[in-house]
Structure 1
């Protein structure tokens, strides 16, 4: 059988002229060479430009990008706090709660820029400061010379720029004051709280943060808190405890007949808020690896997630047994408790031990919430239990379950006690002074009417 020629081959053969038909051409005279362009001088050695042209630039860029993405995830957590706090409280106070959260994240970042960042990271103990207290200063006013610029925006500073470091830490800072916001909800004066939150996040939070993360005296003793079970969460939780002791419970909450439940007005909103916080926690803990190291970040993601899930289950089944019915609010707080619990040791606790840490945190939070209600300490969102009590548990868990033999239970106990005590005392003094000078609590009529109308002149819902 004869196969036909491929049409493209046939066409190509037909298009090719015979050799005799090819015209001879005379080569053109070479054109005059264009003057060579002056080569750009390479960047000076030891500058930012030289570093970014070198072999380490790609990894530095990836590390820096991950820190910035983590900062964005932590920022999203503030939306989660807004949703949880407003959903768990009465609808007549929704605008007030949302307003406080908007104010907190704004003043938290700006206060941290103006003072807190340099107070929290002053230098190396023994060279630049004494390890206990450092003065802050105005930040972000530019770099005066090329050497300083290079040191702060290349790996000479860290595996990320100083700008990325600042914005990541600033998102952390506002969280401490946000924890207090939920605990004092529905009866605190707005102006008093705004003054309190400003001082807390700008001046008090950086002091204890510097003791560990700023190479302070606790760091020198071997205290370990990876992402802030104590430095952020227990600090906020015990600051909240002293504030609500001075403020007192919501009117009508505790009666001669017992505890009168103040029901949340929007549990779906609270549910959304918890899952938003869970998402943000991947940046909170994952970003604390302080690089995009594949093994480190992925391990922290796993321990964080498993502890959160275990905390939810721990609280669900504990509350079901104790309260005789499955309680959604307890389950939501259990997830947060598990996340708080693993935050101190997310990089040094194995995945299965992280499950245990989270489950115990879920159990603890149920009994803690019931205990505070029993002794008539009114915490509308369970902030003291979730952040304070479970923050302490998570810090101690490092001493119990860490894969690093250098982490001891005694040192962990010392660190969490002194930081929690500092937060409790200084917050209490600040709140007490505000009570004496301008008052901290709205009057009975405003509380009954709702703070949305009394403080803001507009309700959140018009129906």
Structure 2
């Protein structure tokens, strides 16, 4: 009888983990639709290509290299071990919980983790949209998913020094989202703004996206996928406590997204005198990112307030970055970076086991590592192959220059 219960628990936890991973994979579609809706029509095919290929690169690099790098060393280290290159990688079929209970298949753990690294890389895609060379972006994706992300991931989820320090990040506000935003910021600084975005007198000119219905669909897809992102991080559901935790996580995830939408829309109405849809969409993302660091400890109302602050911050950050002439077409740096930082720092307010000191150190370490390492890679790519398309190609659209086709060819003017 005990053996039957063990097998049933193992099967249930593995199935739950895999379903959550599939939901997170669905977020790749959300990022693709959101970004495609917020760029101009002439750049749609290229950004869709980036999202498809970056997912494939992330999965391949994590399978061949990064998963073993992220989980290869003893506790407390600063650098992951490279021993797996000599055949010492972990090939166990099962993952044990801290109390010795079987949680799930190790292969399920890999599948869940691989969609997280793809999420981090997707954040970069939107921020550098409309003027970056496709192959330079894909080259960066290889380095980001093979080395940069798994190194800081090892510090935290892999048992490295930040884990030993007590840094707490339930599903990755800092580990995933702020890391991706830091890499994006480095790329944007190297790349420069789009032509016509900023005037000489400090004026900021709006460059509207081509398809706001598509962007809205992308946001709802991300909202849905986030239930797997946060819910799967509970790791198991085969006992009463874990099942209740899973329910609380989903309630709080949804509440934070709703709070982010409401707060962002109200601030946009007060500030711009208009109900700005793009700010509401980014408010949803910011609320989701903010609660990701700890979607378990707060009450539903507390999660709503955490998401609401994320929604306010994303509006302020988007405006501030434009004032600084940091051009992010989709608001990814603000939604994932600023809101991610807020999510990491607010954890000790509701979680007594976390401390502000460890959260600050963790946030600074992850940001600096991802930003500096990414900046070096971007500068190398700029020197070796260039990172920006020509002014003429940017004017015509990177769809034709990089992909040789258009997403909406029937709407082209003056072309046969």
**TM-score (structure 1 length as normaliser):** 0.84
Q: 1:450 to 1:141 in 2, by over 3 A?
A: farther
Which aligned pairs between 1:401-420 and structure 2 lie closer than 5 A? Answer: 401-402=350-351, 405-420=352-367
Which aligned pairs between 1:173-184 and structure 2 lie closer than 5 A? Answer: 173-184=117-128
| 8 Å contact kept, 1:143–1:149 | no
Which aligned pairs between 1:17-166 and structure 2 lie closer than 5 A? Answer: 54-125=4-75, 130-135=77-82, 137=84, 149=93, 158-166=102-110
Cα distance between partner residues in 1 of 2:118 and 2:87: 19
Q: 1:158 to 1:434 in 2, by over 3 A?
A: farther
Deviation beyond 6 Å, 4+ runs, structure 1: 138-144, 150-153
Shift of 1:142: 11
* 2:279 corresponding residue in structure 1: 330
Q: How many residues align?
A: 404
| 8 Å contact kept, 2:66–2:150 | yes
The residue matched to 1:173 in structure 2 has which SS?
helix
- Alignment equivalent of 1:350, drawn from 265, 290, 299: 299
Higher relative contact order (CA 8 A, sep 6+): 2
Q: Does 1:281 align with 2:226?
A: yes
- Alignment equivalent of 1:429, drawn from 363, 376, 401: 376
Deviations 1:4-47 (A, max 9, x none): xxxxxxxxxxxxxxxxxxxxxxxxxxxxxxxxxxxxxxxxxxxx
Shift of 1:438: 0.8
Shift of 1:400: 2.3
* 2:138 corresponding residue in structure 1: 194
Which sections of structure 2, spanning at least 5 residues, go unmatched? 411-416
* 1:339 corresponding residue in structure 2: 288
Which sections of structure 1, spanning at least 5 residues, go unmatched? 1-49
What is the RMSD computed on CA atoms of the aligned residues?
2.2
Deviations 1:75-119 (A, max 9, x none): 000000000001000000001000000011101011001111111
| 8 Å contact kept, 2:71–2:80 | no
Cα distance between partner residues in 1 of 2:404 and 2:281: 32
Shift of 1:369: 0.1
**TM-score (structure 2 length as normaliser):** 0.93
Question: Which deviates more from structure 2 when the two are superposed, residues 322-331 or residues 250-259?
Answer: 250-259
Identify the structure with the greater helix proportion: 2
Q: 1:462 to 1:80 in 2, by over 3 A?
A: same
| 8 Å contact kept, 1:114–1:139 | no
Deviations 1:164-212 (A, max 9, x none): 0000000001111110010000000111111001110111100001111
Q: 1:446 to 1:69 in 2, by over 3 A?
A: same
The residue matched to 1:159 in structure 2 has which SS?
strand
